[in-house]
Amino acid sequence: MHSISLPSKPPSSPHPILNLAFRIFFSAAAVFAVVIMTAWAFIFTGYGKIDASILTPFYWHGHEMIFGYALAVVAGFLLTAVKTWTGQRMPYGYRLLGIFLCWLLARLGWLAFGFGIDFGGAIGSQVWLTAALIFDGLFMVTMAGAIFRAVLAVKQYKQLGILAKLALLTLANGLCYLGILKGDMNLSGIGIYLGFYLIIGLVLTIGRRVVPFFIERGLSPDLPVPITVKNSRWQDITSLLLFLAFFLIDVFYPNPYLLTIAALGVGLVNFKRLLGWYHPNIWQKPLLWSLFLAFFGICISFFLFTLQPWLGFNHSLAVHALAISGVGMMTVAMMARVALGHTGRSIHNPPRAVSIMFLLIILVFVSRALLPIVDSSHYLWWVMIAQAGWIGCFVLFCSYYLPILSKPRPDGLFG
């Protein structure tokens, strides 16, 4: 007799926001971006109560922008994209909710530490950071574990570079916490910078894949002949090697000559790559010119690293340029596009406010990274304008995209 294969039960979740990871993590990242920058504005102007003997306010800010905001976007993107790459079912429903709650509880611990909510002196700070350590560890293990299982199940070894970066991000976060536990601020700083450059490495790796794809998909329907943007294997390899050299030099051996050579190399290779992706029609599509300008901002940032040792402006300006372009601008542009495509909505008709969102994040880049170089006397004003621009950008994102991310697909499909 022939056996009859019954159809498998279709997936379901208690709420559409738990259907796929990008929904809940993009929503949370956008809300958190508003909360954490508002908190930083208060702490930066002296209203926080961070125990600076445990961690400086600047490292608190850096940790939460990297391991809080950026990693939420990375988790949402990868836990969704890996399903497409491998065909494997990724966490959804209550399992996805469990991963998310680990991220959320860690963030609450860091916020409580930032505002000095305590039970009596340093004891309160240690309690919040210990709780954050536990939940951050659970988040990293469960998030990365789901990705590892899916990739290795289908032996898709071309993704090993991404897997390695996730493993190193877990190590970097662990180094930051180890520095806190040992009272070694330098070790915490190394963990934060290592995490930051690993995020930039992920952005360069994933951006190399998706930006050309988005440009081709976004422009081809409007053209008589579909376009194919230029890519080069040697550019990929050269960019990877030069970036590896750059971040090792900047973190562990900040020699000005070596840093200049490595940063200039990364900037030039990626600028050449960007020219191969250019098409004049991108300026008609906010979801495309935003990605293009984000990558252009990354190139400018590496040129700032090239000039910094010789012009004498603060190293943190180059770091913020790279953070705002490579993390802020790129993630906003990516989330705005992915949120539409993966909820069954047209990528050719984004919300009208997206252009304002992108212009605000560009303002953040200019105000926080460029204007202090030419006018350091108004540094505090430039920082405050950048903070306001960042908050405004993500308030707009929340206003227009949270309803999209929290509602079922118009076509009725699960996703």
**Tens digits of residue pLDDT in 71-122:** 999 999 999 989 888 888 899 999 999 999 999 999 999 999 988 887 655 5
Q: Confirm whether 101 is domain-assigned.
A: yes
The answer, yes or no, to whether residue 6 has pLDDT greater than 70, is no
Q: Would you give the end-to-end CA distance of the chain in angstroms?
A: 37
pLDDT band at 331 (very low <50, low <70, confident <90, very high): very high
CA angle 77/83/84 to nearest 5° reads 90
Higher pLDDT, 408 or 364: 364
Q: Confirm whether 1 is domain-assigned.
A: no
386 within 8 A of 364, measured Cβ to Cβ: yes
User: What is the 8-class DSSP label of residue 2?
Assistant: P
Q: Confirm whether 100 is domain-assigned.
A: yes
pLDDT band at 221 (very low <50, low <70, confident <90, very high): confident
What pLDDT is attached to residue 9?
Answer: 66
Distance CA 136, CA 102 (A): 6
Q: Confirm whether 2 is domain-assigned.
A: no
The set of residues, in sequence order, having a beta carbon less than 8 Å from that of 141 and lying 6+ positions away, is 170
Token pair for 219 = 């422009």
Q: Confirm whether 58 is domain-assigned.
A: yes
What pLDDT is attached to residue 121?
Answer: 55
* Parent domain of 159: 16-406
The set of residues, in sequence order, having a beta carbon less than 8 Å from that of 298 and lying 6+ positions away, is 200, 203, 204, 270, 322, 325, 326, 330
Token pair for 254 = 């900040």
CA torsion through residues 182, 187, 189, 194, sign:
negative
Distance CA 37, CA 107 (A): 13
Q: How many CA atoms lie within 13 A of 378 on its CB side?
A: 11
Closest CA to 179 of 274, 53, 49: 53
Q: Confirm whether 203 is domain-assigned.
A: yes
Q: Confirm whether 3 is domain-assigned.
A: no
User: What is the 8-class DSSP label of residue 412?
Assistant: -
What is the mean predicted confidence (pLDDT) over 385-390?
A: 97
How many structural domains are present in the chain? 1
**CATH code for position 366:** 1.20.210.10
What pLDDT is attached to residue 4?
Answer: 45
Token pair for 363 = 């303002």
Calculate the CA 197 to chain-centre distance.
Answer: 11
Q: What is the pTM of this model?
A: 0.93
Q: Confirm whether 43 is domain-assigned.
A: yes
